[in-house]
Structure 1
Amino acid sequence: MEQQEVIGKGTWIDKLAFELLEREKSLGRKLDLLRVESGLGASGVPHIGSLGDAVRAYGVKLALENLGYKSELIAYSDDLDGLRKIPEGFPESLEEHLAKPVSLIPDPFGCHDSYGMHMSSILLDGLDRTGIKYEFRRAIDTYKKGLLKDQIHTILQNSTKIGDKISELVGQEKYQKFLPYFPVCANCSKLYTAESFEYLENEKKVRYKCHDAEIGGKMIKGCGHDGEADIGKDLGKLAWKVEFAARWAAFDIRFEAYGKDIMDSVKVNDWVADEILNYPHPHHVKYEMFLDKGGKKISKSLGNVLTAQKWLEFGDPKSILLLLYKRITGARELGFEDIPSLMNEYNELEDIFFGKLKVDNQAKLTKSKGLYEYVNLLDIPKQASTHVNYRLLVELAKIFKEDRKERVMKKLIDYGVIKNPEPKVEKLIELAGNFADEFDQQEKAEIELDDNAKKALKILSETLGADNEPEDIQNTIYQIAKSNDVQPKDFFKILYQIILGTSRGPKIGPFISDIGRKQVAKTLAEYI
């Protein structure tokens, strides 16, 4: 069988970078700097999905650099976007600012120059804490400096053609009546209520009227002002259906991923870039959204937001990067309960990378090593770190609430898991302790059990749950396995899978005593 050639590090990220390069070469464009972009929403609280857009774009930047090209990530905050609704947990006083650009709304918490910058800073903090390097650009500065004025002019000159195309491509007829540009009303500072209806080409001004508009399912009152706005000097912004195209052309963007929720906008923007601005649209990849465990899209308005800041109370930055770099397609249900398995999976990848864990399948080996390198942002550690099973730490953290770090560390040394205390393990105990305090239940492991194993588990559960404590739990487990035709090593493995979600761990007898035999009996009973 012919061996397939490995591109870069053998991951989907490398494949994407390679496709991008091939396309750029076919277009005959310069390859001296390949810019990738990620748009940051600034109107709602940024969640893991928002972070994912920028993290994945950064992965493509790294892959391009690995293939020998210069690249940079532009993190663009859309802080001229109008506030459509008040996010869960934010003060009702924001009501008066609905429809205003978020960069013109005061920060309700008083720590940033605007509401928009408050939201952007949450996302930027997430990027900083995961080690992502970016060039930050704000919409308000971009428009104030007139960086898009040439593109705005060309788009407005062609507004009739664009309005017809939007209607044809996505069935939206609004832009056959109005221009795809929203000035900020000079009288009331609202954005979406000021609809422009005529472009004065020679003066580079739009005429607009501020009237009532439905925004976020709510009627927002316009002030009735008739005005003119200069596209180079006065504040305003392009509609989403055309703005990406203007940015791509102005900033020379070669790659941008998008979520399937904005597919229609991307379709139109691609056409505008290609046909109106004469700028070949960037290479794209579509990704699915993260869903909560109930199958709903993660969003702040639903109150189910999952922020990087909250995640990092329980998991390290590498667990976020692993989540985002594992794959890009397919909707995924996501919750904090995924953290233990991601923390353990990273350890497994590290063991594969350093040859401590053998993988016979060459394709899987290459992919696992490549994934490990991207999770480390291609800054590869010289050696593997000390590994401690995260679920083991969670179980121990549940037992020891007082002097937790010292007592859990002592147990790890007693079990032979580590030789000496070290700061990295101390930090892991802190994260797992936070997890133990906040979430009591761990997800039930999926384990295939035959009748003998189920019978042995039933007997062990009853033995551990009895009032009289077995003299030697380790030996009791061994005898129960033997007398029920279950290989003891297989039975121990089953117990580790049920208790720790892994196939090995510390000596099981003393560990069960530490957790509490009746507690373990209850857990085992769920699998019978």
Structure 2
Amino acid sequence: MSEDDQKIIGRGTWIDKLAHEMIEREQQLGRSTSMLRVESGLGASGIPHIGSLGDAVRAYGVKLALENFGYKSELVAYSDDLDGLRKIPEGLPDWLGEHIAKPVSLIPDPFGCHDSYGMHMSSLLLDGLDNLGIKYDFRRARDTYKNGLLKDQIHTILTNSEKIGTKIAELVGQEKYQKYLPYYPVCANCNRLYTAESYEYIPDEMKIKYRCHEAEIGSKMLKGCGHEGEADITKDLGKLAWKVEFAARWHAFDIRFEAYGKDIMDSVRVNDWVSDEILNHPHPHHVKYEMFLDKGGKKISKSLGNVVTSQKWLKYGTPKSMLLLLYKRITGARELGFEDIPTLMDEYNEIEDVYFGKVKLDNEAKTARTKGLYEYTNLLNVPKTPSIHVNYRLLIELGRIFKEDRVNRITKKLIDYGVIKNPDPYIDQIIQLAGNYADDFEEQEIMQIQINDATKNALRKLVDVLVAEKDPEDLQNAIYNIAKENNVLPKDFFMTLYQIILGASRGPKIGPFIMDIGRNKVAQTIGKYT
């Protein structure tokens, strides 16, 4: 089936397709659709990166699509702040080593501004969601367990622990839950989580017996304190193992959709079975996504220090640029770095042009998908008129030139170039972002451009003109003549220069712009392509 023949669902994006599949499944299951709740789990053990944020942002997109289809929906943002600290994230103080295996909600905040390490990390993620305009119902693991909201699910799971342990071994080959219960109490003596092994459940009292023995954390064995005790699952601090905890939450909160990363596929398979067979609650509709990778191809990790945070991203790019990144697609691993911001900033302008009919695409499905992507990037609250568009890389280059009184001087240049007619508050904001980028990052990486031999010859001639001792009398005219003399269409030659200098197919009048950047600097850049 060609793209033209495909049925357009909702606004034509993967988000609409996913929400539509979810609704169909709910109808087949015969469940009430009066509230279709979606969930995102927030890790609280390290500095949250854009991948962590992406889980919640995409779930919110599904919520918006469900509402667009006429259903009530809400996003539960669940912070796992009873998770134990497994290692010290890069850049954090060594004294955190004393707290390895303790729940992050019981560890002091290294930055001294929140009630715990876990709440500090959660707050960074929530701040990122707030800055993007994401609405959510925030729930903490510590409060959820302390208030007994999962006690019925924990009881059912523990009374079926033998059956669950056998199934876990069958599904994923993990045998420890045949020996121990899938529940970790917080040791009453040392406050550690994973060293406390539960070995017996007393159903009538809803208590477990445990001994604080040892646990493998990462690749190291951590000794327990030797304490033996009992813990009440209705009020004492403790948590279910990941292999069963998702299922308990899905049941307790009536979750109908949750995405997951490929790194927890095994846990999701087990939880789906526990939800379906033990708790008699059909597991949520899922979609699997891949991890963001750094530019070296490694998984972006909260503990490795290769973190692209939303706070830093928003120093250089708009919230819309981040939402565009997260809503473009969900499948496939992607390398991600701050150097992607210029492309996304300009791509937002391109899809806005499609939405407002300034650019026509070649088929209906592609047009619908692009317009839908623009709508979701604006969280279905679309502006009535398009913004003023200025090439972000142009602003970076001008930001490298003008450091003092940057906004006013760059605005004047944009008016001189004919790029804008008047000063504008939105353009002021983009100039500031691009200026931050210019200050913090080196030159742009070399763009991959197809250049034929005639154009290469013309570029060499232009380099000679640019490195000459005297300024050319009329650089714009000189560039035009160089193109003609080398049998290159001037408009094609200008486009090649824009691609080399700005990564765009057009820009301001090229001669004055090159003089502003500096002849030698542009000559060096062009020389890389000859």
TM-score range (shorter-chain normalised) is over 0.9
Q: Give the Cα separation in 2 of the matches to 1:111 and 1:61.
A: 32
Q: Look up the match of 2:283.
A: 281
Q: Look up the match of 1:430.
A: 432
Q: Look up the match of 1:230.
A: 232
Indicate the larger mover: 74-83 or 399-408. 399-408
Specify the code of the residue in structure 1 equivalent to 2:301: S
Indicate the larger mover: 359-368 or 74-83. 359-368
The offset of 1:221, in angstroms, is 2.4
Q: Look up the match of 1:186.
A: 188
Secondary structure, in 3 states, of the residue corresponding to 2:316?
coil
Q: Look up the match of 1:171.
A: 173
Number of aligned residue pairs: give it: 528
Q: Look up the match of 2:111.
A: 109
Question: After superposition, what is the alpha-carbon deviation per residue over 1:176-224, rounded to whole angstroms, capped at 9, x for unaligned?
Answer: 1100000010111110000101111111111100012221223322110
Q: Give the Cα separation in 2 of the matches to 1:359 and 1:270.
A: 42
Question: Are 2:47 and 2:303, in contact at CA under 8 Å, matched by a contact in 1?
Answer: no
Q: Look up the match of 2:337.
A: 335
Q: Look up the match of 1:371.
A: 373
Q: Look up the match of 1:415.
A: 417
1:73 paired with 2:75, answer yes
- Superposed CA RMSD in Å reads 0.9
> Of the candidates 346, 352, 355, which is equivalent to residue 353 of structure 1?
355
Question: After superposition, what is the alpha-carbon deviation per residue over 1:432-471, rounded to whole angstroms, capped at 9, x for unaligned?
Answer: 0000000012121111111111111111122212222221
Q: Give the Cα separation in 2 of the matches to 1:360 and 1:265.
A: 43
Q: Give the Cα separation in 2 of the matches to 1:92 and 1:200.
A: 40
Q: Look up the match of 1:440.
A: 442
Question: After superposition, what is the alpha-carbon deviation per residue over 1:63-84, rounded to whole angstroms, capped at 9, x for unaligned?
Answer: 0000110000000000000011
5+ residue gaps in structure 2? none
1:28-427 matches, within 5 Å, as 28-427=30-429
Specify the code of the residue in structure 2 equivalent to 1:470: P
Q: Give the Cα separation in 1 of the matches to 2:61 and 2:445.
A: 30
Q: Look up the match of 2:453.
A: 451
Q: Give the Cα separation in 2 of the matches to 1:389 and 1:361.
A: 26
Question: Are 2:40 and 2:76, in contact at CA under 8 Å, matched by a contact in 1?
Answer: yes
Q: Look up the match of 2:479.
A: 477
Question: After superposition, what is the alpha-carbon deviation per residue over 1:225-249, rounded to whole angstroms, capped at 9, x for unaligned?
Answer: 0101111121110000000000000
Question: Are 1:246 and 1:273, in contact at CA under 8 Å, matched by a contact in 2?
Answer: yes
Q: Look up the match of 1:500.
A: 502
1:26 paired with 2:13, answer no
Question: Are 1:108 and 1:115, in contact at CA under 8 Å, matched by a contact in 2?
Answer: yes
Question: After superposition, what is the alpha-carbon deviation per residue over 1:318-343, rounded to whole angstroms, capped at 9, x for unaligned?
Answer: 00000000000110001000000100
Q: Give the Cα separation in 1 of the matches to 2:525 and 2:122.
A: 43
Q: Give the Cα separation in 2 of the matches to 1:153 and 1:459.
A: 79
Indicate the larger mover: 31-40 or 465-474. 465-474
Q: Look up the match of 1:466.
A: 468
What is the percentage of aligned positions where both structures have the same residue? 75
The offset of 1:505, in angstroms, is 0.6
Indicate the larger mover: 369-378 or 88-97. 88-97
Specify the code of the residue in structure 2 equivalent to 1:185: C
Specify the code of the residue in structure 1 equivalent to 2:363: N
Q: Give the Cα separation in 1 of the matches to 2:95 and 2:411.
A: 48
5+ residue gaps in structure 1? none
Specify the code of the residue in structure 1 equivalent to 2:245: E
Secondary structure, in 3 states, of the residue corresponding to 2:351?
helix
Q: Give the Cα separation in 2 of the matches to 1:301 and 1:109.
A: 17
Q: Give the Cα separation in 1 of the matches to 2:127 and 2:455.
A: 49
Q: Give the Cα separation in 1 of the matches to 2:216 and 2:181.
A: 17
Question: After superposition, what is the alpha-carbon deviation per residue over 1:52-96, rounded to whole angstroms, capped at 9, x for unaligned?
Answer: 000000000000000110000000000000011111111111111
Question: After superposition, what is the alpha-carbon deviation per residue over 1:392-423, rounded to whole angstroms, capped at 9, x for unaligned?
Answer: 00000000111111111110111111111111
**TM-score, normalized by length of structure 2?**
0.99
Question: Are 1:461 and 1:525, in contact at CA under 8 Å, matched by a contact in 2?
Answer: yes
Question: Are 1:465 and 1:522, in contact at CA under 8 Å, matched by a contact in 2?
Answer: no
Q: Give the Cα separation in 2 of the matches to 1:122 and 1:229.
A: 32
**TM-score, normalized by length of structure 1?**
0.99
Indicate the larger mover: 85-94 or 216-225. 216-225
Question: Are 1:460 and 1:477, in contact at CA under 8 Å, matched by a contact in 2?
Answer: yes
Question: Are 1:143 and 1:235, in contact at CA under 8 Å, matched by a contact in 2?
Answer: yes
Q: Give the Cα separation in 1 of the matches to 2:467 and 2:162.
A: 77
